[in-house]
Chain A
Amino acid sequence: GENVEQHPSTLSVQEGDSAVIKCTYSDSASNYFPWYKQELGKRPQLIIDIRSNVGEKKDQRIAVTLNKTAKHFSLHITETQPEDSAVYFCAASLGTDGLTFGKGTHLIIQP
C-alpha cells in the first residue's frame, strides 16, 4: 500500500518568514495530494490540494508543488503569521480511496 513520509516533524520559524514542509509518497499511482491543518483539539481542515496533472497550485500565502517523477510534494507558506501555528499533515490517495497521511509537522511561529 501507499506510504507517505513527511519532514520535518517540527519546524520553528520567525513570524513573517517562510515555511516549507516536504512529503514523499511511494505509490506512483496516487493522484491526489491534500494538505490539512489541525489545531489543538480540532478536526483536520483542508488548506490546499493538488492533483497529479498539475505541478503547482497557489492560494494567497499558501502554495503546493508536486514532482511526480520524484514522488515528492511540498507545502510552502509565505509571510507566516501566529495563526499559522498548528500541526500540518500531508496525504495521498488514488482516485476515490481513503487518504494515507504523513506523520505531521508541528509548525511553530515565533513572534
Chain B
Amino acid sequence: SAVISQKPSRDICQRGTSLTIQCQVDSQVTMMFWYRQQPGQSLTLIATANQGSEATYESGFVIDKFPISRPNLTFSTLTVSNMSPEDSSIYLCSTRLAGTDTQYFGPGTRLTVL
C-alpha cells in the first residue's frame, strides 16, 4: 500500500483568503487525485494531477479556484482560492500505485471557512 500524508490536518480560515494543502506520498506515483468531501456527504473528484502536465479538472471545478501543482512524482499541492463558507469541506488526496487499480487516500485536510 501507499503511505500518504497531508498538511495541514485542519485549518480555520477567513473568507477571501487562500489555503494550500500539501500531499506527500512515500513512493513515486504517476497519478495523484484530489477529492472534496463536504460535511456528511460523499467524495467528489476535483482533479487529476500528473507530473509534468497540467491537472485535469472535473466538471464544476476550475483551475482559478483550485490551482494544483505537481512538481515531482511524490508530491502535490491543492490551493483553495478566495475561500467562502461553501468551501468548508474535507479535502483528500489519493494515489494509485503503478500496475494496480487500488486508490489509497491521505488522511484529509478539514477546512472550515468563516
Contact = CB atoms under 8 A, between A and B. Distances in A.
Same complex: yes
Interface of A: 1, 32, 34, 42-46, 49, 51, 89, 93, 96-104
Interface of B: 31, 33, 35, 41-45, 48, 58-59, 92, 94, 96, 101-108
Contacts of A43: 92, 105-108
A1 B59 contact: yes
A103 B42 contact: yes
Nearest to B59: A1
A100 B108 contact: no
Contacts of B101: 32, 34, 49, 51, 93
B31 A96 contact: yes
Given A98-B45, A101-B44, A103-B41, A46 B104 contact: yes
Contacts of B106: 43
